[in-house]
Chains A and B, each alone.
Chain A
C-alpha cells in the first residue's frame, strides 16, 4: 500500500526543471509533499486535497489526479537549495487521524 515514487533519483543543473511522481494503488483523499535534506528532518512543502484545494509552498507547484490516484511535484528553474530527498505521503481520508503512508523517496541533486 506504500505509494510508489518515480524516478528514484534525478540529477539536474541549476535552472533545469524536474517532475517527481507519486502513484497509489488506493483511492486517495490527500497527498502531502515533504523535502528532507541530508541529516535533517523532513520539511513540509504542500498538501493537495481531493476536490482541488492546495495548501503550501508558493514557489513549488503540484497536481493531483484523483481518478489516476497520482500526484506530481513540479520543480521549475531549480536552485541548489532544491537538493534533497522528496517524499510523498498519502491519505485515503477514512480514519480522521492524519495518518500518512509515505513513499520511498526521490533523491534530487542540483549541480551548479
Chain B
C-alpha cells in the first residue's frame, strides 16, 4: 500500500516549456487535490476532483490544467511554464468530505 505517490520528485524547466505532474493513489479515494506551497503562504489549492472524469478550479488555477481519466490518477499540467510557478507541488486524496487528506511526497519545480 503505497498511499499517494508523485512523479517526478524534482524538475527544472525553462520559461515557456510544458510538463505534466502525475499523482497516483491506491486507496480508492474519490477526492483528489493539487496544491502549491510557497514560503509563508501555506498550501493553496490549484484544482481538485471529486471523482473520475470530474475536475474543478481551486484558489489559484491560472496557468494550470488537470485531468482525471482514471480514479487513481490525477494529472497536473503546465502548458507554458513561468518563473512564478516555481514552487513545491503536493497532491492529496481523501475518502470524502470531512475526512483527512493524505498527501504525496511533493514535487519541487524550478522555472528559470
- Residues on A close to B: CB < 8 A? 2, 29-30, 32, 34, 40-44, 47, 49, 55-56, 87, 89, 91, 93, 96-105
Contacts and interface: CB of A to CB of B under 8 A. Distances in A.
A98 B96 contact: yes
Contacts of A55: 100
14 contacts: A32-B100, A32-B101, A42-B103, A44-B100, A44-B102, A56-B100, A96-B50, A96-B97, A98-B50, A98-B96, A98-B99, A101-B59, A102-B35, A102-B42
Given A41-B104, A44-B102, A98 B94 contact: yes
B90 A42 contact: yes
B41 interface: yes
Contacts of A49: 98
A30, A34, A96, A100: most-surrounded residue (chain B CB, <10 A): A100
Nearest to B90: A41
Contacts of B44: 102
Interface in B64-93: 90
Contacts of A47: 98-100
Nearest to A3: B42
Contacts of A105: 40, 42
Contact of A97 (B35, B56, B105, B106): B56
B43 interface: yes
Interface in B13-58: 31, 33, 35, 40-45, 48, 50, 56, 58
Given A2-B42, A41-B90, A104-B40, A98 B104 contact: no
A34 to B, nearest CB: 8
A51 to B, nearest CB: 11
B105 A41 contact: yes
B97 A98 contact: yes
